[in-house]
C-alpha cells in the first residue's frame, strides 16, 4: 500500500488531456479572446489550449494559497497584482487542477473586478469533485478520489519533497542509505517511477540542503539543521 496516493502524469497525457479539454471548449458556444494561465500550474495546459484553439492572446496571473504559520486560516492571494483593460473581451482562465479551488476562484474574481473582462470561464485538466469548492466550466477529467498528480512540470520539486518526507520517517530507523536503497524505498512508498535522472537530481537537492550527506558511496540522513 502506497503511503500517499500518487499518480505519475506524462507529457503525452498532458497533450492528450489538453487536446480533449480544447475539444470541449470548441463544442460549446464559448469563443474566448484571451487565455489567462494561472501561474504556475496552468502554464503548459494554457499554451497547449492556445495551440488547439488557435488563440494568440496569452496572459498570466499568479494566484496561490498562502499558509500563514501564525494563523489557523489559509488564504489565497494574487501575488503580483496588476491592472489591464479587458473590457469587451471573453477570458478563458486555465489551470492544471481544481483541488480546493480557492486560488482559482480568487483569480476569476480579480479578473472581473480589476481587468473588467466581459466574461471569465474556467478550464482545467482535472477537477477533484469531492473536495472542490466549485465546478469548473470546462474540465477534461473528473477525479472522484483524491490523488496527488505528479505533473511533469513539478517532477523535481515533488520528487525531492516526497523523498524528504520519506526520510523524515524512515531516517529515524536507518541512517545510512545507498542510492538504490533510496530508489527502492521511494517506489515502495509512492509507487511511481520518476526515472533515474530526476531521482539523481532530487538526491542532489537534498545533499545541497544538508539533509543527505554523501560519505563513502552512501548517504547519511541528517535532519539536525532543519
| Distance separating alpha carbons of residues 117 and 109, to the nearest angstrom | 10
CA 178/CA 181 separation, integer angstroms: 5
Among left, alpha and beta (phi > 0; psi -120 to 50; other), residue 18 is: alpha
Q: For residues 34 and 37, which CB has a smaller minimum distance to ligand ADP in the complex?
A: 37
Rounded to a whole number of angstroms, the minimum distance from the CB of residue 102 to ligand ADP is: 3
134 vs 179 by CB, closer to ligand ADP:
134
CB of 168 to ligand ADP, least distance (A): 21
- Of 179 and 198, which has the nearer Cβ to ligand ADP? 198
> From the CB of 72, what's the least distance to ligand ADP, in Å?
16
- Positions in the binding site for ligand ADP (CB under 6 A): 41, 64-65, 76, 95-104, 148-149
- Looking only at the bridges linking them, the beta strands covering 90-98 and 34-39 are parallel
Helices (H), the chain: 11-27, 43-53, 102-114, 155-170, 179-190, 196-208
Rounded to the nearest whole angstrom, what is the least distance from the CB of residue 44 to ligand ADP in the complex? 11
Residue nearer to ligand ADP on the CB measure, 9 or 221: 9
Question: Rounded to whole angstroms, how far apart are CA atoms 222 and 109?
Answer: 45
Amino acid at each position: 500500500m502506497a503511503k500517499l496516493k500518487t499518480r505519475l502524469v506524462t507529457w503525452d497525457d498532458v497533450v492528450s488531456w489538453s487536446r480533449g479539454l480544447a475539444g470541449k471548449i470548441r463544442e460549446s458556444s464559448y469563443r474566448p479572446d484571451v487565455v489567462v494561465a494561472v501561474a504556475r500550474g496552468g502554464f503548459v495546459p494554457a499554451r497547449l489550449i492556445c495551440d488547439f484553439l488557435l488563440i494568440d492572446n496569452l496572459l498570466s496571473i499568479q494566484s496561490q494559497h498562502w499558509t500563514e504559520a501564525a494563523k489557523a486560516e489559509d488564504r489565497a492571494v494574487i501575488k503580483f497584482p496588476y491592472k489591464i483593460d479587458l473590457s469587451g473581451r471573453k477570458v478563458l482562465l486555465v489551470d492544471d487542477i481544481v483541488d480546493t479551488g480557492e486560488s482559482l476562484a480568487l483569480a476569476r474574481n480579480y479578473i472581473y473586478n480589476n481587468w473588467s473582462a466581459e466574461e471569465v470561464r474556467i478550464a482545467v485538466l482535472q477537477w477533484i469533485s469531492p473536495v472542490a469548492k466549485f465546478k469548473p466550466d470546462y474540465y477534461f477529467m473528473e477525479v472522484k478520489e483524491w490523488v496527488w498528480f505528479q505533473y511533469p512540470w513539478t517532477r523535481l520539486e515533488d520528487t525531492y519533497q516526497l523523498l524528504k518526507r520519506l526520510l523524515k520517517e524512515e531516517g529515524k530507523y536507518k541512517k545510512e542509505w545507498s542510492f538504490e536503497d533510496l530508489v527502492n524505498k521511494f517506489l515502495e512508498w509512492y509507487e511511481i517511477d520518476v526515472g533515474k535522472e530526476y531521482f539523481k537530481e532530487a538526491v542532489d537537492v537534498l545533499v545541497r540542503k544538508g539533509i543527505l550527506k554523501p560519505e563513502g558511496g552512501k548517504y547519511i540522513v541528517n535532519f539536525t539543521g532543519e
